[in-house]
Amino acid sequence: MTPTHNRDAMLAQLIEFLGDEHSIEKLSSTLDETWSQLSAIASPQDVIQSVIERLLSTDSFTPETDPIASPNHKRQKTSETVQTQTEPNKPENAFERLFKASASAAPASGLTHSLLTAENVSAHLPCELFPGWLSPTDSDSLLRFLMQSAKENDLWAVTKYYINEREVLTSHKSAIFVDLAERDFRHTFQGSDSKGIPYSSSKVLLETSRRVNAFVTQRIRDLRVRLETTVSKSPVEMNGTWTGNFCVANEYLHGKQTTGFHADSLAYIGPRCVIASLSVGATRTFRIRRVKGAAKGYVWDFLEDDKVVEDTVGVAEAETPLTKHPDNHCLKNLPSASSDTVFSIKLPHGSLLIMYPPMQELYKHEIGPEKHFQGHPISGLARYNLTFRMYRREFENPPFCKCGVRTDLKPVFKGSSGSKRDEKYYYSCVLGRGEQLGCGFFEWLK
């Protein structure tokens, strides 16, 4: 049996890599079996790689593309079809195989796939989709701004992270926009400080963000979604409104640029967050899976009857058109789907997708590779999206781990009752490199 410190660190890495495909019990038993065979000759990295090799050898992955694409590419015309590129054969370790597998468009064996629309998405997921939320004129203006910003501003960059002492780059560029004074914004990712582009750099972005704030606040109040936990208050109850003052922007230039299944980081935005994703440009497919082993429950989680939330925000209907809400599925809340179901949602130009709790705790999402999808007259095959989040001052200082970097905040939902007592969150080391796979830092959020 591996020492507790090393074992916990390695198991955490395996859950991060393969938790969607295998149960914690399967990962744990495979880790223990592999360690007992290799402990005398293998480092922790070798053990992790051997476990991944074993599990991948039993999975039916058929990878088609490499998610690590060069950022120096030419923009393609709308009518073009993205072709699959192949690279010369070269040795791959388990981590390289894993990342290629995660980007594959081929469905895993035994999965059920379901295409959702604005009319039925809220019956299956804690989300709402509003096609055409932003007018065509404003959508086009926002698209032109983002295209220019991504081309000219050096703060747009690929994201770096580390796997098995190897630097990995995302296939697409991202940037951070903020509606906060520089002195009030502190943010790090994978140990590096982040800088934000002011909302005020674009009139259309600033105006759009204000409309998003008012609209999302109204939806939270109308739906009475629970935002508080035993370790954090509801930002709407505390501040009166939801404010998307922190925004991660993404640029996908063509169908080969992707992001694999993940949940958005809770660091700086706190538990049970609300994220509003505004899409412009080409129409890409947003895919969602429930986390394997997640607590069973219902799609939506509402405020208790004794909670009181103000009903009015003062949103001008002409400014933020509210499409007819699809039957308000919160009135007939259904059990959540299993992890064997993959939901797909098309996100067209000007659409707004609002993700409510517990979306980031119990689900993962991705933009997978696509060969055929609808382009846009202005951007061709390129899609841009703005994911508005509420930066919360009470979470602006995550603890440092022993590596000397800020930790990430992650959830643990164990129970099935839906009680706040079943929800826990912890800080952990974000680095996955070195002999000890990071420092193994762990601390409960109190």
Per-residue pLDDT of 154-165, as tens digits, reads 999 988 765 544
Q: How far is CA 196 from CA 85, 160, 193, 348, 407, in A?
A: 34, 17, 10, 26, 20
The confidence score (pLDDT) of residue 137 equals: 98
Pairing between β-strand 423-428 and β-strand 408-413 as defined by DSSP bridges? antiparallel
Q: Give the count of beta carbons closer than 10 Å to the beta carbon of residue 435.
A: 9
Tens-digit pLDDT profile for residues 193-212: 778 899 999 999 999 999 99
- 4 CB-near residues (< 8 Å, 6+ apart): none
Q: Which pLDDT score is estimated for 431?
A: 74
Secondary structure (3-state) at 368: coil
> What Rg value do the Cα atoms of the chain yield, rounded?
22
Nearest Cα to 229, choosing from 384, 3, 446, 6? 446
Q: What average pLDDT does the structure give for the chain?
A: 77
- Tokens of residue 343, six digits: 């939901």
Amino acid identity at 183: R
For domain 112-394, give the fold. Jelly Rolls (2.60.120)
pLDDT at res. 61: 33
Give 106 or 283, the one with higher predicted confidence. 283
- The whole-number average pLDDT for the span 314-331 is 42
Token output for 39: 């402990």
pLDDT digit string, tens, across residues 165-186: 455 678 899 999 999 876 677 7
DSSP labels, 248-289 = EEEEE-STT--EEEE----TTT-SS--EEEEEEES-EEEEEE
Confidence at residue 132, expressed as pLDDT on a 0 to 100 scale? 97
224 φ/ψ sector (left φ>0, alpha ψ -120 to 50, else beta): left
pTM metric for this prediction? 0.73
- The answer to which of 14-18, 41-45, 58-62, 329-333 has the lowest mean pLDDT is 58-62
Domain ranges of the chain: 1-59, 112-394
List C-alpha distances in Å: 190 to 155, 197, 254: 16, 19, 26
For residue 185 the two structure tokens come to 């914004």
Q: Summarize the confidence of residues 110-117 as an average pLDDT.
A: 86
Q: Which of 290, 288, 300 is nearest to 338 (CA)?
A: 290
